Amino acid sequence: MYIARVWPMYDSRMLPHPLTRRQWLGLTAAAAIAPAAERLEITSIKAAPLSINSMAIPKAGEPLGDFDPKRWRNFGPYAQLPAAILVQIRTKDGLTGYGIGGGGAAACLIIEQHLAPMLKGTNALNIELLWEQMFASTSFYGRRGLALQAISGIDLALWDLAGRRANLPVYQLLGGPTAERVKAYYTSNEVERGLKLGFRAIKIHGFETFRDGPTGLKKNVQKILDARKRAGPETQLMLDALCAWDAPYTLELAARAAETKLYFIEEPLLPDDMEGYARLCREIKGPRIASGEHEASIYGFRELIRNRAAHILQPDVTWSGGLTDGRRVAAAAEAAGALLIPHRGGSVYGMTLLLTSHAPILAESFGTGESGNELMEMLTTKLVDGHYLPPPGPGFGVEFPAAFLRKHTPSLA
């Protein structure tokens, strides 16, 4: 065992969570963005689908009809990156802020018909207030999924506006960085390529599911053994199961692959299997259990903490509630003794959360090594010697030129 299974007492009634001095200073710094006399009036909120990468959608009926294994992995057109949206917020004095959300055209409809009319005319610097109003107003049909992915994009655009107004990177508005750079890990099965790019931590993916039985389990273990051999003994090695297993299967796989000294196993179970995750955290020997890429809001992450169902929390601020909520998750993780390794932490948004957290650990690759994707390259911070550097400013440091908008989101040009 190379992780201490020690969790402090946690009381779900504690709201807000106990804060360190640094977190308190960060919160007060954020509150200082919008003094009573300062107003940045929102005049327009628009959103458009913006596919970051493609994902093939398996067709039903081929070759095994209703029981085709691919039908268990049919994530549809609203899953993660293929359904990314770009949110554009403009203000009365001519500032424009941008944020990335999720949920595709469906989330854009929520923004167009519900959130944009509600926020028009409000003060864009009241970020915390607007988040609470949006979350409360969508809770009867949202709470997770599309509505929260829409809120995430708006929230990030508001923070971008605040940074541009102050002419500072967003992380400086929140008290400044806690590290000069953050160690990066490469999510890919191309281990050698990751090492060549400079990464010293690799996460492999694309595993057989528990429905594939003993044969699939054997293939999975061999895949991990091969990856360790190619990566060498000094490289941190992790795996992403993409919710394809159950608890007994995960425990058996971890035992069979113990010699590889995995750092963590990411999302082995479906997100709602809280009992299964809690069992894994109690019983697994060796690797940590990571979860949260598909969790949403501080309320969902609080349940992971309360049930001791994850050693590592992985919020993605473009889906899980934006930077406003991501900071709450980071504070709760610190208070509970859990680790924070955001999903796609190498993006400008994930790095902003990491750099203002207590102790940045790892930032997942985003765009690095994924040539040909213009947007992902724009949203990725610079990689130097296996570490991501802070994003430039002001705001999140990303410009969306008119030519780019005309090409990818003409309605926002």
All structural domains of the chain: 23-169 (3.30.390.10), 178-389 (3.20.20.120)
pLDDT at 374: 84
Closest among 155, 166, 164 to 32, alpha carbons compared = 166
DSSP, collapsed to helix, strand or coil, labels residue 67 as: helix
Could you say which DSSP state residue 81 is in?
Answer: G
**Rounded to an integer, what distance in angstroms lies between the CA atom of residue 356 and that of residue 360?**
8
pLDDT at 4: 34
Strand partners, 42: 91
Q: 177 φ, ψ to 5°?
A: -75, 150
**Rounded to an integer, what distance in angstroms lies between the CA atom of residue 219 and that of residue 96?**
50
pLDDT at 63: 59
Among this protein's residues, is 343 annotated catalytic? yes
pLDDT at 58: 53
pLDDT at 361: 96
**Rounded to an integer, what distance in angstroms lies between the CA atom of residue 323 and that of residue 319?**
10
Parallel, antiparallel or unpaired: strands 383-384 and 387-388:
antiparallel
pLDDT at 172: 97
pLDDT at 78: 79
Could you tell me the two tokens for 205?
């993916």
Residues with Cβ within 8 Å of residue 113, at least 6 apart in sequence: none
pLDDT at 71: 77
pLDDT along the chain (413 residues), means of 10: 35 41 50 64 96 59 69 78 92 97 96 98 98 98 95 98 98 96 97 97 97 96 98 98 97 98 98 98 98 96 98 97 98 96 96 95 90 84 96 94 93 94
Burial of residue 70, with CB atoms counted within 10 A of its CB: 0-12 exposed, 13-18 middle, 19 or more buried: middle
Q: Which of 343, 358, 387, 408 is catalytic?
A: 343
pLDDT at 70: 75
Q: For 339-375, give the secondary structure using H, E and C.
A: EECCCCCCEHHHHHHHHCCCCCCCEECCCCCCCCCHH
Could you tell me the two tokens for 117?
């009319």
* Pair 251, 281: CB distance under 8 Å: no
CA distances in angstroms from 187 to 67, 129, 139, 201, listed in the order given: 30, 36, 33, 9
Could you tell me the two tokens for 226?
């091969």
pLDDT at 65: 73
